[in-house]
């Protein structure tokens, strides 16, 4: 599936993973090696709490092809200090810092902090605007507010954005695509019961799709229910190819090209 006719792994990118998470403690070198063997030439590891940025940065610095992004995850906004635009902008000086976030809105688990999440989201948007780096959005059970804020802010000043691990409704997908944003396909899109989500992806322009693992979460079949890792992005991409009527190599090449356009600082 991830191997070309010539016997070499087809290059692909994992646009979103969490290599600093404790599930990978003690075996990061091995899992990055497995990713390389599966054709994953680049990956973006995401810091979800700014106080942990030094550890995430160190992982990126230690491994060729590993880049990083940082922000305050919406589910952590209530417990973390409110981020400042200047703090996020300062991180962009690092050559391997390639995105702002993940940020966003999560009303499924943390609806009680909705107001603070919205404030944090707008701060991250301003940092994306100032740095020119893409915004990385987490959205769960907040489609209306998310579409409204992204649209309001885009009118106030353009920025680029990816809807990470997109699993929301068609309305939010259309709002994001209308703003020129990207949708990221995770293992959820490969789940048997995700036919409706696959239809949303199929309706999107192929040049606005990237793929990710969100490792250690959301492993695609045949690893569903187990710990995810960057190598498994190949399984999601195989399903993505089916959705768009492309073979694996063509879909991997297209999504890698899309990644280069969106995450230009990490371009091949």
Domains and CATH numbers, the chain: 12-266 (3.20.20.140)
Is the preceding omega at residue 216 within 30 degrees of 0, hence cis? yes
The pLDDT value recorded for residue 159 is 98
State pLDDT tens for residues 191-212. Answer: 999 999 999 999 999 999 999 9
The dihedral of CA 33, 35, 39, 41: what is its sign? negative
Does the annotation place 108 within a ligand binding site? no
pTM: 0.95
Given a contact cutoff of 8 angstroms between Cβ atoms, the answer to whether 260 and 182 are in contact is: no
Does the annotation place 124 within a ligand binding site? no
For the chain, give the percent of residues with pLDDT over 90. 96
**Helices (DSSP H) in the chain: which residue ranges?**
28-37, 53-62, 85-91, 114-131, 143-156, 170-178, 195-202, 233-244, 248-262
The pLDDT value recorded for residue 3 is 43
The pLDDT value recorded for residue 8 is 74
Does the annotation place 164 within a ligand binding site? yes
Give the integer Cα–Cα distance in Å for 180 and 32.
32
88 pLDDT tier (thresholds 50, 70, 90): very high
Mean pLDDT of the chain: 96
The mean pLDDT of 71-76, rounded to a whole number, is 98
Interior/surface letters 118-152, b for 16+ CB within 10 angstroms, e for the rest: bebbbbbbbbbbbbebbbbbbbbebbebbbebbee
The pLDDT value recorded for residue 1 is 45
Nearest 5°: phi and psi at 164?
-65, 140
Does the annotation place 138 within a ligand binding site? yes
Residues in the chain: 268
What number of other Cβ atoms are within 10 A of residue 202's Cβ? 13
- Three-state DSSP class for 211? strand
268 pLDDT tier (thresholds 50, 70, 90): low
Closest CA to 44 of 95, 99, 82, 4: 99
β-bridge partners, 66: 43
Does the annotation place 18 within a ligand binding site? yes
The pLDDT value recorded for residue 7 is 53
State pLDDT tens for residues 25-70. Answer: 999 999 999 999 999 999 999 999 999 999 999 999 999 999 999 9
Q: Is the pLDDT of residue 6 over 90?
A: no
State pLDDT tens for residues 148-171. Answer: 999 999 999 999 999 999 999 999
Integer-rounded Cα Rg, in Å, for the chain is 17
The mean pLDDT of 81-104, rounded to a whole number, is 98
Does the annotation place 214 within a ligand binding site? yes
Closest CA to 177 of 211, 200, 145, 152: 200
84 pLDDT tier (thresholds 50, 70, 90): very high
Give the integer Cα–Cα distance in Å for 5 and 7.
5
Strand order from edge to edge, sheet including 97-106: 12-17, 40-47, 66-70, 97-106, 135-140, 161-163, 182-185, 209-211
Provide the terminal-to-terminal Cα distance of the chain, rounded to the nearest Å. Answer: 22
The mean pLDDT of 133-140, rounded to a whole number, is 98
Element (H, E) at 15: strand 12-17
């Amino acid at each position: 599936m991830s191997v070309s006719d010539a016997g070499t792994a087809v290059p692909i990118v994992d646009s979103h993973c969490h290599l600093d998470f404790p599930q990978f403690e003690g075996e990061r070198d091995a899992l990055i090696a497995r990713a390389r063997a599966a054709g994953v030439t680049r990956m973006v590891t995401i810091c979800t709490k700014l106080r942990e940025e030094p550890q995430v940065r160190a992982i990126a610095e230690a491994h060729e092809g590993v880049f990083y992004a940082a922000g305050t995850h919406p589910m952590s906004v209530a417990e973390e200090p409110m981020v400042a635009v200047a703090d996020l902008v300062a991180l962009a000086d690092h050559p391997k810092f390639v995105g702002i976030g993940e940020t966003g809105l999560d009303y499924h688990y943390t609806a009680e902090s909705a107001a603070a999440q919205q404030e944090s989201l707008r701060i991250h948007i301003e940092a994306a605007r100032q740095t020119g780096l893409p915004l990385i959005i987490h959205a769960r059970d907040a489609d209306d507010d998310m579409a409204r804020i992204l649209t309001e802010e885009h009118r106030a000043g353009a920025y680029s954005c990816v809807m990470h691990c997109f699993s929301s409704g068609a309305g939010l997908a259309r709002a994001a695509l209308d703003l020129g944003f990207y949708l990221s396909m995770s293992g959820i899109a490969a789940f048997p019961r995700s036919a409706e989500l696959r239809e949303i992806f199929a309706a999107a322009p192929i040049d606005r799709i990237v793929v990710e693992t969100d490792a250690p979460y959301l492993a695609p079949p045949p690893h569903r229910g187990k710990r995810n890792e960057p190598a498994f992005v190949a399984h999601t991409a195989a399903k993505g190819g089916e959705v768009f009527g492309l073979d694996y190599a063509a879909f991997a090449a297209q999504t890698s090209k899309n990644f280069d356009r969106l995450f230009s600082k990490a371009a091949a």
